[in-house]
C-alpha cells in the first residue's frame, strides 16, 4: 500500500523533527494517533474520523489547535488607531471600525494580491489579537516584523495553547465551568455572539483563589456553534481535562477537523486559497470591507479591486459527486471534454455519506446546477456544482438589542 499519511505533508520551513504541543502527552494518553502536521506532532484521530466528526455535529468536540500562531499587535501606549492603521496596510479588513470584543476574518495579502495567509483578528481593547495558520506562522511573523512600522509592537504568544470546543452542546459545556467575565461589561460566556470575544477567569474549583485567565471567542472551523479558547500552556491540560470530564465532550483529531470544515464550505489555506491565487477567485471577497473597497490602500488593491469590478476567470465552487469514490486535491474537473478546473480539497462527507469537494472552476462552468465530471485515476465521476456550505452552518447570533424574537 502507498503512504497513508500523504494528506498531512510537513512544512519544509520548520527544523527537522516535529515540535511537541503542550498537550502532547495528553493526546497520547487519550489514544490519539500522532502525525506530523505544520511541524508539530498532532493527533489525526482518536477513535476514528467518522465517529469524531458525527460526535462534533451532534454534541461537542474538543480540538487542540495550539499549532496555530497567536499574535498581538499593539500601538504606542495602546494607541489602537495607530495599530489599526499599520495592520490595514497589510490586510483588507476595516479594523478602524472593528469594535472592542469583535472578531473579523481577514487575509494577509502579498503585493500582487496573492494570499499569504488567512487569519482572525480580534479587537482586545488595547491591542489586536491575531490567530494565524500553524504552517504559515513563521512566515507571517517575518512578514509582519518586516512591514509593521517601528512604533508598532508584535508579540508572539508562544506560551499560549489554543483549544476549540465545537458543536451544539459547546455553549452548555462551557457555561458549566463557572467562568467569570474578567471585567465590567463582558457577557457571560454563553451569551457571546458569533464572532464576539471576551476575557474570562477560570476557577478550577470554587475554593481556588488562583483563577486562570482565558481568552474566549465564539468562533470556529466546523460550521457549528462553538468557541476558541486561548489558555496559558501551563493550564491547558487541566482545562482539557475539565472539558472532557463533561459527558458531552470528546477529543477530536485533525482528520475530523478537515472533514468538518470541508462540509461547512470553509476554505483551507494552501489548498483552496494560495499565494498564486487571489481573494476574489477564492470566494473570499466578503473579507474586503466596504470602506477598503472604496479607499484601497491594502497590498494588491489595484488587482483585487479590478477583479471585484470586472469579475474573475475562475471561482471556488462546491462539488457534489455521484457514487462513493472521493475526488481529492489536484483532480481535473471537466465540462464535456474540456478541462475547466481542478479540485482544491475533497473527501468523503460523513454527514452526507457521499463524496464532496471544493474546486477552482472556470466562471462559465461555475453556476450551481452545472453538470461536470471529475477525473479520478482515469475514471470520470459525475459531479454537480452546488452552493456552499454542503451542511448548513449553525452559528449562534444574538439578536440586536431591542429586537423581538
Partner 1 sequence: MSRYFTKDHEWVDVEGDTGTIGITDYAQGQLGDITYVEAPEVGKVLARGDTAAVVDSVKAAADVYAPVAGTVSAVNAALEGEPELVNTDAEVGGWLFRLTLSDAGELSGLMDTAAYAEYIKGL
- C-alpha cell read off for 133: 495558520
Cβ–Cβ < 8 Å for 27, 64 = yes
CB of 125 to partner 1, least distance (A): 41
Of 90-98, 179-187, 231-239, 343-351, the window that binds partner 1 (rule: CB under 8 A) is 343-351
CB hemisphere CA count around 95 (13 angstroms) = 30
Choose between 280 and 326: whose C-beta lies nearer to partner 1: 326
Choose between 49 and 174: whose C-beta lies nearer to partner 1: 49
Choosing from 18, 69, 199, 255, the residue that interacts with partner 1 (CB under 8 A) is 255
Residue 213-252 contact track with partner 1, rule CB under 8 A, x = bound: ----------------------------------------
6 contributes a contact to partner 1 by CB under 8 A: yes
Choose between 45 and 217: whose C-beta lies nearer to partner 1: 45
Choose between 4 and 294: whose C-beta lies nearer to partner 1: 4
Query: Phi and psi at residue 44, in whole multiples of 5°?
Result: -85, -30
Cβ–Cβ < 8 Å for 140, 116 = yes
71: nearest Cα among 8, 178, 143, 12? 143
Total residues at the site for partner 1 (CB under 8 A)?
A: 26
Of 2-10, 195-203, 224-232, 264-272, the window that binds partner 1 (rule: CB under 8 A) is 2-10
Choosing from 5, 159, 241, 387, the residue that interacts with partner 1 (CB under 8 A) is 5
How far apart are alpha carbons 130 and 121 in whole angstroms? Answer: 5
Choose between 33 and 156: whose C-beta lies nearer to partner 1: 33
Choose between 28 and 379: whose C-beta lies nearer to partner 1: 379
Residue 44-63 contact track with partner 1, rule CB under 8 A, x = bound: xx--xxxx-x----------
99 contributes a contact to partner 1 by CB under 8 A: no
Of 3-11, 170-178, 287-295, 384-392, the window that binds partner 1 (rule: CB under 8 A) is 3-11
Choosing from 1, 207, 294, 403, the residue that interacts with partner 1 (CB under 8 A) is 1
- C-alpha cell read off for 353: 455519506
350 contributes a contact to partner 1 by CB under 8 A: yes
Choose between 145 and 325: whose C-beta lies nearer to partner 1: 325
Choosing from 143, 328, 393, 394, the residue that interacts with partner 1 (CB under 8 A) is 328
Where do contacts with partner 1 occur on this chain (CB under 8 A)? 1-7, 44-45, 48-51, 53, 255, 259, 324-326, 328, 347-348, 350, 355, 377, 379
Amino acid at each position: 500500500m502507498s503512504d497513508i499519511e500523504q494528506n498531512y505533508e510537513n512544512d519544509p520551513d520548520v527544523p527537522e523533527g516535529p515540535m511537541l504541543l503542550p498537550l502532547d502527552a495528553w493526546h497520547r494518553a487519550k489514544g490519539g494517533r500522532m502525525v506530523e502536521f505544520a511541524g508539530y506532532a498532532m493527533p489525526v484521530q482518536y477513535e476514528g474520523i467518522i465517529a469524531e466528526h458525527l460526535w462534533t455535529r451532534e454534541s461537542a468536540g474538543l480540538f487542540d489547535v495550539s499549532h496555530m500562531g497567536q499574535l498581538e499587535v499593539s500601538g504606542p501606549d495602546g494607541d489602537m488607531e495607530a495599530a489599526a492603521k499599520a495592520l490595514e496596510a497589510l490586510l483588507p479588513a476595516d479594523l478602524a471600525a472593528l469594535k472592542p470584543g469583535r472578531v473579523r476574518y481577514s487575509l494577509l495579502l502579498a503585493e500582487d494580491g496573492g494570499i499569504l495567509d488567512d487569519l482572525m483578528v480580534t479587537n482586545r481593547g488595547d491591542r489586536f489579537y491575531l490567530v494565524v495558520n500553524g504552517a504559515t506562522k513563521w512566515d507571517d511573523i517575518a512578514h509582519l516584523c518586516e512591514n509593521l512600522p517601528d512604533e508598532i509592537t508584535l508579540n508572539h504568544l508562544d506560551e499560549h495553547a489554543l483549544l476549540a470546543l465545537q458543536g451544539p452542546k459547546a455553549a452548555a459545556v462551557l457555561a458549566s465551568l463557572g467562568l467569570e467575565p474578567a471585567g465590567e461589561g463582558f457577557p457571560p460566556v454563553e451569551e457571546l455572539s458569533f464572532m464576539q470575544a471576551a476575557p474570562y477567569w477560570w476557577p478550577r474549583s470554587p475554593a481556588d483563589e488562583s483563577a486562570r485567565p482565558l481568552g474566549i471567542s465564539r468562533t470556529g472551523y466546523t460550521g457549528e456553534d462553538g468557541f476558541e479558547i486561548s489558555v496559558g500552556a501551563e493550564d491547558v491540560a487541566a482545562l482539557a481535562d475539565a472539558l472532557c470530564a463533561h459527558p458531552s465532550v470528546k477529543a477530536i483529531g485533525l482528520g475530523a477537523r478537515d472533514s468538518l470544515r470541508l462540509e461547512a464550505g470553509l476554505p483551507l489555506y494552501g489548498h483552496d486559497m494560495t499565494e498564486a491565487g487571489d481573494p476574489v477567485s477564492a470566494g473570499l471577497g466578503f473579507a474586503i470591507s466596504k470602506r477598503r473597497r472604496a479607499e484601497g490602500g491594502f497590498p494588491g488593491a489595484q488587482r483585487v479591486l479590478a477583479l471585484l469590478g470586472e469579475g474573475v476567470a475562475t471561482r471556488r465552487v462546491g462539488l457534489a459527486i455521484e457514487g462513493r469514490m472521493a475526488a481529492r486535491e489536484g483532480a481535473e474537473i471537466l465540462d464535456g471534454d474540456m478541462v475547466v478546473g481542478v479540485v482544491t480539497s475533497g473527501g468523503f462527507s460523513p454527514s452526507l455519506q457521499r463524496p464532496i469537494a471544493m474546486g477552482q472552476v472556470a466562471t462559465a462552468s461555475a453556476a450551481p446546477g452545472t453538470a461536470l465530471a471529475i477525473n479520478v485515476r482515469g475514471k470520470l465521476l459525475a459531479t454537480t456544482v452546488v452552493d456552499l456550505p454542503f451542511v448548513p452552518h449553525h452559528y449562534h447570533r444574538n439578536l440586536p438589542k431591542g429586537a423581538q424574537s
